[in-house]
Structure 1
């Protein structure tokens, strides 16, 4: 859970929030952060066990248990149906966090059209269609906030995931391309681009001695980025404190890029 001295945003109290890929990693920190603010949170994730455990931890901490549903976001009708069901349970959403992603490694030579489509189906398509689903409710509310999760990996010319780099580089295009349209209805849209965040997955799969050296060589700040560091920026952008922030990219990477 967020630290006891975490910044409080009164405007998030009672606000309805939807998070994609909220069951573990950065997504779980975002869900926990909003719940601790008193928001009413809904999320989807493909990992049913992790999602159930997260909901239990939040309830045990004394916060309202989140609404959640298992969902494979590659299935856009299923994603939009989940958003509709969550809105029916909680009410229209004022905040959407497009977090879901998968950075599976692959080589240029190994990519097939089917694999490329599958990577895009996870890392790019869900964000647009989730926005499409929540915007009518935000308009009814008189405004809202969309936060899209980008990445610094492609900006730092990271290798080993060209399809992921393509998808994540498009996030800023989505943010900037919709900012004017959504802004007319007081809906803000921004990108948060994390550096190398120490989720359980990253530690288990990629953090070896060479990785430790890379952190020391590239980060300006010592220590390791944690999921709650990313969640802190997301909470700010979702709050009324960021009322005049839109069409921007906010990088949280300890100074890597």
Structure 2
């Protein structure tokens, strides 16, 4: 889709997005390309990534990695910087909303949940810090969830990880602020991505969810991407350490 707001400060900036091949991530890749930014993204789904790259006429940098592997993730940050230039904006989007009942989750499943939903946010941020410091500033946008605030049954690991991202955002905003690096978190409600519609968000569930929303409409990936653009741009230059909810007024 075409975005009505243009951010001149994003033109030519280098954006690094984790989990960028599909869903919200893919929409953000498209939105930053439309703003004239140089976009790099990583994802494990090579087929979806190639399809996205083709749609954008190859106007993106992509690497297929497992974001749970710290060394590979941080090397991708370095590779992207060598290819496109020092990174100005990091979007920590990669996640997996895995579901386990608290009585059944194993130790390995718990650690796997943290490895995909919490750890990459820290290690990608650690890797981009020297580039942003040298640039004289930058923006890191972390993805949490409203479930970190309200909780949700059968998602204790995911909710814990997303709550951790809120705390990490606050801490890193203090750590990086002296270098003019802003760190904020987006907390989406239930976004109607293709995966969610195919897996969890059927008509009955969606109607029940909307009962407690002030605005009775689906939250789309493009709605979230618009907020990410703002937080990445210079227009949000004095916003840091914040958690911004986009949920149609559910909480």
TM-score bracket for this pair, using the shorter chain length: over 0.9
Report the Cα offset of residue 87 of structure 1: 0.7
Moved over 4 A (4+): none
- What residue number does 1:207 align with? 201
Q: Which runs of 5+ in 1 are unaligned?
A: none
Structure 2 Cα separation of the partners of residues 209 and 200 of structure 1: 14
Q: Provide the secondary structure at the position in 2 that maps to 1:155.
A: helix
Whether 1:34 and 2:32 are equivalent positions in the alignment is yes
Whether 1:17 and 2:11 are equivalent positions in the alignment is no
Report the Cα offset of residue 154 of structure 1: 3.1
Cα deviation digits, residues 4-60 of structure 1 (max 9, x gap): x5210000000000000000000001111100000000000010000001111122x
Q: Provide the secondary structure at the position in 2 that maps to 1:210.
A: helix
- What residue number does 1:106 align with? 100
Report the Cα offset of residue 104 of structure 1: 1.5
Structure 2 Cα separation of the partners of residues 241 and 152 of structure 1: 24
Where in structure 2 are the equivalents of 1:186-197 lying within 5 Å? 186-197=180-191
- What residue number does 1:8 align with? 6
Cα deviation digits, residues 203-252 of structure 1 (max 9, x gap): 00112232122233111102100001001000000000001000001111
Say which of 113, 129, 138 aligns to 2:132.
138
TM-score relative to the length of structure 2: 0.98
Where in structure 2 are the equivalents of 1:52-131 lying within 5 Å? 52-59=50-57, 65-131=59-125
Structure 2 Cα separation of the partners of residues 238 and 14 of structure 1: 13
Q: Provide the secondary structure at the position in 2 that maps to 1:247.
A: coil
- What residue number does 1:219 align with? 213
TM-score relative to the length of structure 1: 0.95
Cα deviation digits, residues 71-92 of structure 1 (max 9, x gap): 1111110111111111110111
- What residue number does 1:182 align with? 176
- What residue number does 1:46 align with? 44
State the Cα RMSD in Å. Answer: 1.0
Structure 2 Cα separation of the partners of residues 118 and 198 of structure 1: 25
- Between Structure 1 and Structure 2, how many residues are aligned? 251
Where in structure 2 are the equivalents of 1:141-152 lying within 5 Å? 141-152=135-146
